[in-house]
Amino acid sequence: MSDLIGGFLDGGGSRGGGGRYNDGGFDSGGRQQRGGGGGFNFDDIGGIINSISGGGGGGRGSDIGNILGGIGSLIGGGGGGGQYGGGGGNINPNRLNGGMVNIIGNLIGEAAHRFLGVDPSTGRIIGAVAGNVIMGLGGKDNSLGNIGKIILDNIISGKFRRDVDPFVRPEPRPDRGGTGPSPIQPIPSHEPLDFYAERDRCLAAKRLFEDPHFPADDSSLFFSRSPPKRIEWLRPGEIVREPQLITEGHSRFDVIQGELGDCWLLAAAANLTLKDELFYRVVPPDQSFTENYAGIFHFQFWQYGKWVDVVIDDRLPTSNGELMYMHSKSNNEFWSALLEKAYAKLYGSYEALKGGTTSEALEDMTGGLTEFFDLHQPPKNIMQMMMRGFEMGSLFGCSIEADPYVWEAKLSNGLVKGHAYSITGMRIVNGPNGQVCLMRIRNPWGNEQEWNGPWSDNSYEWRSVPNNIKEEMGLRFDHDGEFWMSFEDFMRNFEKMEICNLGPDVMDEVYQMTGVRATSNTWAANTHDGAWIRNQTAGGCRNYINTFANNPQYRIQLTDSDPDDDDELCTVIFAVMQKYRRNLKAQGLDNVPIGFAVYDVGNVSGRLSKQFFQANKSSMRSAAFINLREMTGRFRVPPGNYVIVPSTFEPNEEAEFMLRVYTNGFIESE
């Protein structure tokens, strides 16, 4: 204890005292760190507090330079570091825990907000960096973007608290007994893991966390076969010398595919990096390989209407000392590999991630609603729709239909069939023959496998674009999987596109996290949970007219958002999502074919009967019944009263589902 007090107050504590304020934990390679070290003088704190509050001899309250200088000297020490510094080491941020973190974090957070402010139009901190970056609280050695700094500051200061539940792995029902339609449900067979409590326990015991619910063995890798090679689970500190969660800022180039067939997940992750406010929702910035490192990390995903916190250890599958699956272009950056592991835990194993759609991962990372488009039969205004989508924060993916005989067949133009790409930008430029709309697209392989036609890397078309425009576009000609192509070539060569629309709850949380209202154009949304139960509510599609009325029915009223405009129609998107089906892969089960029908009911009240459905056709319906996780449809309809009937294709197919309705107008439901 004397060493602890001495090291904290006066500097020069002894080696490895083991107290809370000594380093006393482990470094990223599993080696115990030294304790003791520099301290600080309470006069320093007094001077800074006085300067923050606007009084005393420590500095003028309006002089932000004095405040930041004082904080800098308090942390780093050293001659001339600041007017309150006295030379020598002062606070080691690794020692700040508990009440001291709250005191100093709140002081600095308040000072940053009071004196620096946030530009509401851009989210950038005015004049300097946030206090938490100076202190390194939670983000030490992580290169956070401006939005990330604000989010971290708001988390530390308590100004933003996430609404998130601990992840509970779905377990098989021992005996359904007619109580529900799903073979699995989230049953807490064990105590859910709390990231902060587990990390504190590991730090106190000087041990690295080992996840009891997702062990470092074959059961976490595969459910249908044995590993094809010898696999060794290593922590990042055993792979490289100085691992970091994020290096030089996260980017779409941090997502490179490994040996797992989850390009759909990588395409979504690459999209996520384009928006700090979405990225830090999934990858919390309050964790690193230096400060409070205990081999434990957490990631947050959207699951059927709520956010869950997935806690993992940092043991990763490797072969010959190299990561087998998702990894970053920088060999000491590990956020993408750890995110993939957390996502594998969410669904039971790495093998469960083989095969999927970009939309599924985008929704799990944003809570958004995804639409599918057949580019052979696109809407007439698809270019305007996409540009509007980028303005509203939507995320995009695209693909070419797979060849049934060749997995991920490479085409002569450089594109790959059956492979998920992310669309990361649109830009109109002046080309050799006039204005042209360009699409920026990325192959998650992150290599030279790129489009080689017009507007590809180093093609002659770029000669007509001024250098300053190229710089604005972030143009780079590397073998990194990213390329540009014209909108016409995009429509000619790609066949499927997915758009993930962000709902009002997501945008509202972004505002709470950052203080920035991203856009005034947001969707109104309505959500319902339901189930198809054998001999009760599993009536099948309208082909089975005798049982169709047994399906769940949801009544909504749509109102035009602007009755004074010339357009009297509402845009509405319906989406039906079946739950927990990816978790059932290990049991040999898959998605069931689902769809929906929507009826204009006028003044008809009450539950619709068999006779109503015999006499009336649907006014809207899903394009088909397909065994996808989610079926969606976008429509332009007049305001009015409607009833939505979600169903499986055949009667008595059981599943749980979630119905979501997005509209640009107003919506009420029963």
pLDDT tens by residue, 141-174: 455 555 566 666 665 555 556 678 898 877 655 4
Interatomic CA distance for residues 667 and 558, integer angstroms: 5
Residues 625 and 593 sit within 8 Å (Cβ to Cβ)? yes
Domains, the chain, ordered by start:
2-156 (no CATH), 392-492 (3.90.70.10), 523-669 (2.60.120.380)
Q: What is the 3-state secondary structure (H, E, C) of 47-68?
A: HHHHHHHCCCCCCCCCCHHHHH
Catalytic positions are 263, 419, 443
What is d(CA 249, CA 247) in angstroms, rounded to the nearest whole number? 5
Query: Mean pLDDT, the chain, as a whole number?
Result: 74
**For the sheet containing 594-600, what is the strand order?**
620-621, 594-600, 640-648, 554-559, 666-669
Which range, 159-173, 249-263, 303-317, 319-333, is most confident?
303-317
Task: Quote the pLDDT of residue 385.
Answer: 85
Selection from 323, 320, 297, 278 nearest residue 501 by Cα: 278
- Give the span between the Cα atoms of 422 and 70, in whole angstroms: 45
Amino acid at 595: G
Distance CA 157, CA 249 (A): 23
Q: What is the DSSP secondary structure assignment for residue 213, as one 8-state letter?
A: S
Q: What is the mean pLDDT of residues 357-369?
A: 88
Q: Can you give the pLDDT at residue 35?
A: 39
Residue 480: CB partners within 8 Å, gap ≥ 6? 253, 329, 446, 447
Relative to beta strand 554-559, strand 640-648 is antiparallel
CA distances from 354 to 230, 232, 325, 343, 560 (A): 20, 21, 12, 12, 43
Alpha carbon of residue 30 to chain centroid:
29
Name the phi and psi angles at 238, rounded to 5: -95, -10
Give the H or E element holding residue 529: strand 524-532
- Least-confidence region, from 146-150, 336-340, 357-361: 146-150
> Shortest CA distance to 267 belongs to which of 425, 409, 439, 441?
441
3-class SS of residue 106 = helix
Look at residue 157 in the predicted model and tell me its pLDDT. Answer: 58
Is pLDDT larger for residue 127 or for residue 519?
A: 519
Q: Which two tokens stand for residue 445?
A: 């392989």
Residue position matching structure tokens 């570091």 = 81
Query: What does pTM read for this prediction?
Result: 0.69
Is residue 461 within 8 Å of 455, Cβ to Cβ? yes
pLDDT at 516: 53
pLDDT at 649: 97
Give the pLDDT band of residue 137 (cuts 50, 70, 90): very low
Higher pLDDT, 364 or 161: 364
